[in-house]
Structure 1
Amino acid sequence: MNATLKTFKIISFLEAISFLVLLGIAMPLKYIWELPQMVQVVGMAHGVLFLLYIAGAVYVSQILQWSTKTLLIVLACSVIPFGPFYAERKYLP
């Protein structure tokens, strides 16, 4: 179980960072300076990490026996900037 939680924490951290980089660096580069290349790279990485986060949250919810409400909160945190940091601190041991 510890390895599973550690893996999910790493995925959660990376997903949060990729989302912030996408919103804070890649999107301005695309729309202000017309450089879409970074959105393609960071966007793909974020997409993969997002899917891993969702799958990991569902798996961890079964291990930790989260209520449906807790799972939905953790899933909602994946679409809010800095949300995964909150979810990790609040709901993971």
Structure 2
Amino acid sequence: MLNAFRIVAILEGISYLLLFGLGMPLKYAAKIPEPNIYIGYAHGFLFIAYVVVAIVYCMEAKCGIKRFLKYFIASLLPFGTFYVEEKYLKPLESV
């Protein structure tokens, strides 16, 4: 489950950056809304997947609600899921 969580965290972070770094400028500055639709769908799916995998992981690893809330709040911030992956999940891989 750890590897699945790491992968989803990275993909969710990439989709967040694509949505706000590419999709939004194309939609509002260049008046091209189409890419934003597909990037938005992908980001929405990956966000939900991230939260579900975080819940399952925290239940399996007995992390507690405080750790889950850190994971959840990180998903709302740009680069937050990359931080979670690097600080909390990557060190566990070597254990």
TM-score range, shorter chain: over 0.9
Distance in 2 between the 1:33 and 1:14 partners?
26
- With the length of structure 2 as denominator, give the TM-score of the two structures: 0.91
The 3-state SS of whatever aligns with 1:49 is: helix
CA RMSD in angstroms, aligned pairs only: 0.8
Q: Deviations over 1:37-91 (max 9, x none)?
A: 0110100000000000000000000112112111101001001000001111222
Alignment of 1:6 onto 2:7? no
Q: How many equivalent residue pairs? A: 90
Give the % identical residues: 40
- The ranges of structure 1 where at least 4 consecutive aligned residues each deviate by more than 4 angstroms after the TM superposition are none
Alignment of 1:54 onto 2:51? yes
Aligned 1:22-61 pairs, distance under 5 A? 22-61=19-58
Structure 2: tracts of 5 or more residues without a match: none
Structure 1: tracts of 5 or more residues without a match: none
- With the length of structure 1 as denominator, give the TM-score of the two structures: 0.92
Aligned-pair distance for 1:29?
0.3
